[in-house]
Amino acid sequence: MRKILMLSVLAMLASCEEDKEGYVISGTVENATEGQNIYVSELNDTNTQTVVTDTVKVVDGKFELDLPEKEVPSISFLTMDGARGNVLYIADNTPISFEIYPDSLYASKVTGGKDNEVLYGYMTKIRETNEKMGKARNEMRQAFTSKDTAKLEELKITQQEISENDKINKKELVEQNPNSIVSVMVLQDMVNTKMYSSSELRALFDGLSPEVKQLSLAQMLDQNLKNLSRTDIGSIAPEFSAETPDGEQLALKDVLGKVTLVDFWASWCKPCRVENPNIVNVYKKYHDKGFNIIQVSLDRQGQKDKWLQAIQEDNLGEWNHVSNLMFWQDPIAASYGVRAIPAAFLLDEEGKIIAKNLRGEQLETKVAEVLNDDSK
């Protein structure tokens, strides 16, 4: 009997230990509505959408929820009924506390776990950088209005210093946190903003721990970096074909001129639309001398009419257009490592990439240089 009793006690202890697996999120909600729902979401397997995984109600301005153990750290979010935005956090099996402000979810506070410490340290620096940049831009507008050229030059240097410090901060964060999923997130930001070359980004990625490199987000980044290296200056541009507005297939090889612009854009992309008039001007000036264009639209499925309308409104009908209407899942964008638009690649007559992401006067200068045109 005594032996049986001991086994029962051990079984109870084992059961208690199992109940402790996982992690707890808890917190307070400012001016909370009693019974208001808080939703826990995570990125799906392809890291493209959020999926709700659990719900908890606010009681007396507080909430607490036991969540299952995470096999690996994951990017998670809290959202609320009636509140815009979300609260970002890293779920890594450590207890996490929240101070939630429904009127401004992005201002909410998150504490608990090394990953969240790194994440919110990074987000604080991003906010500080944005504030400094915003202040510099406002001062530049004032200096421009008052025609203070000396102040304008001074502020240009200030902006360059802010940007350079931002680059350094991101690089140091990745180097100092090789075991954190946050380093993968920051590296992806660096890819999107094109602040480092693909070889420099690859070196930073290679410095991550083997465990972090196995995360799905890191594997996607790894593929993005491989795609980026295929579009380094001097590389042959990846071949592609897609449907034209008329529904016919058109390949890159069929439109190459002496110099060709492969331009990724979309009808919903305001910076793209702002740049389009410059592309029109360069095309009109240099097409007869061998300058061709193919624009690849990242418009959404079911919105072909918006794509066609933008072509007409921006007077882009004189050159070639293709689209898979697949938004960010577009395979051409993936093969070129495009994670943000506008994105542009300038090719020579052999399809070799000779420049990337030229805008405004820079585009015309490079086209004129390649075509040996001195009339610019």
**Domain containing residue 364: CATH number:** 3.40.30.10
Find the mean pLDDT for residues 31-54.
88
**pLDDT, tens digit (0-9, with 9 covering 90-100), for 281-326:** 999 999 999 999 999 999 999 999 999 999 999 999 999 999 999 9
Give yes or no for residue 277 having a pLDDT over 70.
yes
Compare 46 and 23 and report the one with higher pLDDT. 23
Question: Are both 327 and 248 inside the same structural domain?
Answer: yes
Q: What is the CATH number of the domain that holds 52?
A: 2.60.40.180
Task: Please state, in angstroms and rounded to a whole number, the distance separating the CA atoms of residues 292 and 313.
Answer: 20
- Structural domain includes residue 235: no
Say whether pLDDT at 180 is over 70.
yes
For the cut 50, the answer to whether the pLDDT of residue 2 exceeds it is no
Token reading at 3: 């032996």
Distance CA 123, CA 77 (A): 15
User: What is the spatial distance between Cα 346 and Cα 194, in angstroms, rounded to a whole number?
Assistant: 16
pLDDT score recorded for residue 376: 56
Domain assignment present for residue 14? The answer is: no
Domain count across the chain: 3
| Judgement on whether residues 339 and 223 belong to the same structural domain of the protein | no
Please check whether residues 256 and 363 belong to one and the same domain: yes
Cα 304 → chain centroid: 24
* pLDDT, average across residues 260-282: 97
Mean pLDDT of the chain: 90
For 205-228, write each residue's pLDDT tens digit: 999 999 999 999 999 999 889 888
Tell me: do 195 and 289 sit in the same domain: no
CB–CB of 104/29 below 8 Å? no
Check residue 337 and give its pLDDT.
87
Q: List, in order, residues 6 or more apart from 243 with CB less than 8 Å away.
A: 249, 250, 322, 323, 324
Q: What is the pLDDT of residue 373?
A: 63
Q: pLDDT value at position 4?
A: 40
Are residue 350 and residue 323 in the same domain, yes or no? yes
In a domain, 87, yes or no: yes
Q: Does 104 lie in the same domain as 58? A: yes
Collapse the DSSP code of 123 into the 3-class scheme (helix H, G, I; strand E, B; otherwise coil) and give the result: helix
First to last CA, the chain: 99
13 pLDDT tier (thresholds 50, 70, 90): very low
- Within this chain, do residues 128 and 187 fall inside the same structural domain, yes or no? yes
pLDDT band per the 50, 70, 90 thresholds, residue 5: very low
pLDDT greater than 90 at residue 40? yes
**Of 230, 255, 287, the domain-final residue:** 230
Q: Between β-strands 23-29 and 96-100, what pairing exists: parallel, antiparallel or unpaired?
A: parallel
Q: Are residues 251 and 362 in the same domain?
A: yes
Neighbours of 246 (CB within 10 A): 7
| 297/193 same-domain check | no
The distance from CA 283 to its chain's CA centroid, rounded to whole angstroms, is 30
Same structural domain, 80 and 182: no
Check residues 212 and 373 and name the one with the higher pLDDT.
212
Which among 54, 16, 58 is positioned nearest to 33, based on CA atoms?
58
Of 230, 259, 285, the domain-final residue: 230
* Domain shared by 138 and 195, yes or no: yes
pLDDT score recorded for residue 11: 39
Asked whether residue 3 is assigned to any structural domain, the reply reads no
Confidence of residue 45 (pLDDT cuts 50, 70, 90): confident
* Residue 271 falls inside a structural domain: yes
Residue 13 lies in a domain: no
Residue 138 has pLDDT above 80, yes or no: yes
The predicted structure's pLDDT at residue 228:
82
Say what the pTM is.
0.71
Query: Do 82 and 122 share a domain, yes or no?
Result: no
Residue 1: is its pLDDT beyond 60? no
Q: Residue 73's domain spans which residues?
A: 20-109
Q: Is residue 33 part of a domain?
A: yes
Q: Mean pLDDT across the stretch 65-93?
A: 93
pLDDT in tens, 236-258: 999 999 999 999 999 999 999 99
Nearest-angstrom CA–CA distance, 166 and 162:
6
The per-residue pLDDT for 201 is: 94
Domain boundary among 82, 109, 136: 109
**Predicted local distance difference test score (pLDDT) of residue 122:** 95
Q: Is residue 200 situated within a structural domain?
A: yes
Task: Name residue 110's beta-bridge partners.
Answer: 98
How confident is the model at residue 131, as a pLDDT? 94
